[in-house]
Amino acid sequence: MKKPARPVHLILDWDGTLTTKDTLAVLAGLTKARDGRIQIPGPAGKARDVSSVQWQDIVDGYMQDYTAHKASHFPKTGGPEALEKWLDSLEPIEYASAQRASDSGFFKGVSIGDVGPTVTHALESRALELRQGWEKLLSLVLVTECQVTIVSSVDFDKAELQSYINDMVIYANDIHGLNSPLGSSGRLVGNVRTAREKLACMKKAVAAHAPSIEPERAPAVIYVGDSATDFLCLNRASGSGRSCDRGVWIFDGPEGDAEKMMEKTFAPCKAEELDFRVARDLNRAYELVLEVCGEEGHQ
């Protein structure tokens, strides 16, 4: 296995980056696990299954707000600065959605015991699938000084993510009270819902790691993400200043479509205004880490 010549600080998005697709729908399974556990009755003695309908209502509410906001606020020109302003403008939309889910009581009564079976079922059914190359990328912790940080806007249980790497640091939203004997209050908590908040988490993670190391052994900071919400973390040339040593954008599609997809995802930016690299899987992300750090034993 190749060994980087310098330490690495991997900072990774979760949803759509380490996973192959949006995992928000997996959250609906938590309430199904809860209802099955406490055996909520339904018609003809069957367990009540309203989770998918309730969840769709929450999703639809978000999409209605987002679509209306985009129609009047999305910039057609302006490059990275305009994109930053657009991403900042989404804060009330994101928090309204979290409040909507909290007010609905959708997650009320869900417990930590519902998380494991839900994730296991999602993995077995491939509703939750880790992206090709994830083991190779995370194997860096075995061969070099490597800190792994997850910065995720998904309302997901941190303990489940930490089961992959014990000393992983996670900045994520969460469901309040999962460890309570009575289960969750149903409130969604956390402040990792916008691009600006993800950038703040990344800077906090880098700063927290820095005091423990000598300057000459400072790690290469690599951010890997897939969406516009990752823009401020990915783009070294953004108006927010240098964010990382290398950003790696994960995208799904033919290699020849990369530039077109990049400009669509990060509109109104042009490809030449974006200062990050592109990878179709995490095997390529691993190789890009080695490009930054060099390979031990090679000059």
3: in domain: no
Residue 152 within any structural domain of the chain:
yes
**Which residue's structure tokens are 């423990």?**
212
| pLDDT(251) > 60 | yes
Give the CA dihedral 107, 111, 117, 120, nearest 10 degrees. Answer: 70
| Tens digits of residue pLDDT in 114-145 | 888 888 888 888 888 889 999 999 988 888 88
Conformational region of residue 84, where left means phi above 0, alpha means psi within -120 to 50, and beta covers everything else: alpha
CATH of the domain at 86: 3.40.50.1000
Quickly state the pLDDT bin for 241 (edges 50, 70, 90): low
Predicted pLDDT of residue 192:
94
**In what helix (H) or strand (E) does residue 154 lie, and over which residues does it extend?**
strand 146-155
Structural domain includes residue 228: yes
Q: Is residue 272 part of a domain?
A: yes
The yes-or-no verdict on residue 299 having pLDDT over 80 is no
Q: Is residue 169 part of a domain?
A: yes
Q: Which two tokens stand for residue 295?
A: 């390979």
Domain interval for residue 234: 8-38+50-293
Give percent of the chain with pLDDT exceeding 90.
53
Question: Could you give the number of structural domains in the chain?
Answer: 1
Mean pLDDT, residues 80-97: 97
Predicted structure pTM score: 0.90
Which amino acid makes up residue 122?
A
Domain assignment of residue 61, yes or no: yes
Instruction: Tell me if 2 is assigned to some domain.
Output: no
Residue 41, pLDDT score: 53
Structure tokens at 176: 């309040």
Residue 79: inside a domain, yes or no? yes
In angstroms, rounded to a whole number, what is the distance separating the alpha carbons of residues 297 and 278? 26
